[in-house]
Amino acid sequence: MEEKTRCGWCLGDEIYLRYHDEEWGVPVHSDQKLFEHLMMESMQCGLNWLMMLRKREIFYQCFDRFDYKKIAEYGEEDVRRILETEGMIRSPRKVAAVIGNARQYMEVIEKFGSFDAYLWRYTEGRTLIYRSHMAGEGCAENQLSREISRDLKQRGFRYVGPITIYSHLQACGLINDHIPQCWRFQEINRMADVKVLP
């Protein structure tokens, strides 16, 4: 059987491979899943994504499977419980940010009807493909991620810098950054309403 061509970043680890093949770049419209991705990306700040994927079950355990309604009600006892969980990232600031972000997340939902509606309005509901990225000119952030980052920060979100938000847009399918040779590139395009930009 012919080996599929994949993006180079996912090679060498089974968890990365599975994430690349099954999740990365698939358009996400579930508020629950969007929150999960955003919080994992926020937790990643200063660390690496492979560690986040390996700790995902611990995050589920600590944060009620990223149920933002439950997390928004967390208090000091919950923070203590989370920080004492074996294998958990012991950062009081990040744990507090997840709780605070859950509260802000619910405010966005109240204003826009869903976080999905809030986020996807930036791309008019379409998945963006950049010709420059297809030509090998990747980036860690762009004007779109800076705009969304600025808006989220103004709404009180933390750990949502433009690089974090760019990763979020890639992961949740607002940007298809699979390399054109990757078997998932066309798969994602078939799932989405695609808009090609310079």
Catalytic residues: 19, 41, 49
**Encoded amino acid at 36, one letter:** E
| Bridge partner residues of 196 (DSSP) | 129
**Encoded amino acid at 124, one letter:** E
Contact 168, 120 (CB under 8 A): no
147: closest CA among 117, 116, 111, 123?
A: 123
| Bridge partner residues of 175 (DSSP) | 128
Strand, helix or coil for residue 20: helix
Structure tokens at 17: 């491979």
The Cα–Cα gap between 158 and 2 comes to 44
